[in-house]
Amino acid sequence: MEIQDTSDLCFPHLLNSSCRKPTLHWSEAVLLNSVLLFISLITVVLNLLIIISVSHFRQLHTPTNILLLSLGVSDFFVGLLLMPFEIYRFTFCWFLGDVVCVFFCFLISNIISASIWNIVLISVDRYIAICYPLHYPTRISSTRVKYCVCLCWFCASFCSFFYSKDVMIHSGRSCIGECKFIISYFLGIFDLIFNFILPVTTIIVLYLRVSVVAVSQARAMRSHITVATFHSATSATKKSELKAARTLGVLVVVYLTCYCPYYCYSLVDINLISTSYASILFFLFYANSCLNPVIYALFYPWFRKAVKVIVTLQILQPGSHEAKLL
């Protein structure tokens, strides 16, 4: 009678029901995990700097920065929780049990949804600020923004319960030692629409509108300048238009680059997260959380000043929260 080799099983004593260990070579696993852990660390550090900056310095307590703070919190948890869990799931057998697996699914859907819709809120904020500047102080207040942020997180958590419940219902798997997220076709379609098509359409439409208004305002200002200052003003206007277009391009391209591969593949296989490509596309998915601080915060001079105060430990001095950063 032939004896089956059990050395590559996650649970050798469960011969007929155990999953096989990941086949990644140890040298490849070390290199890959080192890179991914470094990305995770950078994501945590950058977003933590945003959280500290906006929370500590009173001058930064503006509606726009409250949205940046909420985005920083969601992206911080992506680097702190989701990335390490995904590294573990990608390179090791899952020994943490079904409860932790379902909880991991809840974290993914909750944090990622909150991050996506925080970006949408930032898009709406910038749209109103540029297209309706006179109405901005009355339409956008710190209190309203806080309510919107709370609603964003509540909706993300509410939807995550349905994901977790669906995962438990469809948790039947072929072997023990893996963490598969298998959701229904209907919920997969809902995720595609709610977390990709709707926010992407909103962001693109709003930013295109913002770019058109910014260019028209620049041209209107250019038409009223004197002949003596024509060339200098024209040069400044062109630089302003180029900067606006470049920022818009970076925002849209990075967002689509990080999210399109996952959702485009999910159109082919709605249960993508149960395939071997899941972890690769998930990390590209998570990479947006590392890039968000660069796109939304590092472009602001106040953030560079705040980081300098934090790194040099001037933040520990009495009255540092009253520092002038704007």
Domain boundaries of the chain, sorted by first residue:
32-322
Q: List 9's β-bridge partners, or say none.
A: 20
Query: Taking each helix axis from N to C terminus, what angle separates 83-91 and 278-296, rounded to the nearest 10 degrees?
Result: 160
The pLDDT confidence band at residue 40, using thresholds 50, 70 and 90, is very high
* Model confidence at 114: pLDDT above 60: yes
Please write the tens of the pLDDT for every residue from 295-310. 776 677 888 889 889 9
> What is the rounded average pLDDT of the residues 192-202?
88
- Picking from 201, 172, 179, the residue whose alpha carbon sits closest to that of residue 263 is 201
Which pLDDT belongs to residue 70? Answer: 94
> What is the rounded average pLDDT of the residues 265-287?
66
**What distance in Å separates the CA atoms of residue 189 and residue 197, rounded to the nearest whole number?**
10
> What is the rounded average pLDDT of the residues 270-279?
55
**What distance in Å separates the CA atoms of residue 60 and residue 80, rounded to the nearest whole number?**
25
The most confident of 21-25, 73-77, 122-126, by mean pLDDT: 73-77
The pLDDT confidence band at residue 123, using thresholds 50, 70 and 90, is confident
**Average pLDDT score over the chain:** 79
Which pLDDT belongs to residue 292? Answer: 84
* Model confidence at 283: pLDDT above 70: yes
For the chain, what is the HEC assignment?
A: CCCCCCCCECCCCCCCCECECCCCCHHHHHHHHHHHHHHHHHHHHHHHHHHHHHHHCHHHCCHHHHHHHHHHHHHHHHHHHHHHHHHHHHHCCCCCHHHHHHHHHHHHHHHHHHHHHHHHHHHHHHHHHHHCCCCHHHHCCHHHHHHHHHHHHHHHHHHHHHHHHHHHHCCCCCCECCCCCCCCHHHHHHHHHHHHHHHHHHHHHHHHHHHHHHHHHHHHHHHCCCHHHHHHHHHHHHHHHHHHHHHHHHHHHHHHHHHHHHHHHHHHCCCHHHCCCHHHHHHHHHHHHHHHHHHHCCCCHHHHHHHHHHHCCHHHCCCHHHCCCC
> What is the rounded average pLDDT of the residues 56-66?
91
Which pLDDT belongs to residue 234? Answer: 47
175 or 56, higher pLDDT? 56
CATH number of the domain located at residue range(s) 32-322 in this protein: 1.20.1070.10
- Picking from 171, 157, 17, the residue whose alpha carbon sits closest to that of residue 99 is 171
Which pLDDT belongs to residue 3? Answer: 45
Contact 326, 302 (CB under 8 A): yes
207 or 7, higher pLDDT? 207
- The predicted model scores a pTM of 0.85
> What is the rounded average pLDDT of the residues 137-165?
90
86 or 249, higher pLDDT? 86
Which pLDDT belongs to residue 230? Answer: 43
Q: Which amino acid is at 81?
A: L
Contact 296, 122 (CB under 8 A): yes
Which pLDDT belongs to residue 72? Answer: 92
Which pLDDT belongs to residue 97? Answer: 82
The tokens for 252 are 């849209």
Which pLDDT belongs to residue 145? Answer: 95
Q: List 20's β-bridge partners, or say none.
A: 9
Q: Mark residue 97 as left, alpha or beta (left: phi above 0; alpha: psi -120 to 50; beta: remaining).
A: left
Please write the tens of the pLDDT for every residue from 88-110. 888 888 888 888 888 888 898 89
- The proportion of the chain whose per-residue pLDDT surpasses 70, expressed as a percent, equals 79
**What distance in Å separates the CA atoms of residue 57 and residue 50, rounded to the nearest whole number?**
11
Which pLDDT belongs to residue 303? Answer: 85
- Picking from 274, 29, 278, the residue whose alpha carbon sits closest to that of residue 175 is 274
Backbone angles phi, psi at 93, to 5 degrees: -70, 150
The pLDDT confidence band at residue 41, using thresholds 50, 70 and 90, is very high
Please write the tens of the pLDDT for every residue from 217-239. 667 666 665 444 444 444 454 45
- The CA-based diameter of the chain, rounded to the nearest angstrom, is 97
The pLDDT confidence band at residue 1, using thresholds 50, 70 and 90, is very low
CB count in 10 Å sphere of residue 31: 11
285 or 313, higher pLDDT? 313
Q: Which of 200-209, 232-241, 243-252, 292-301 has the lowest mean pLDDT?
A: 232-241
**What distance in Å separates the CA atoms of residue 224 and residue 314, rounded to the nearest whole number?**
45
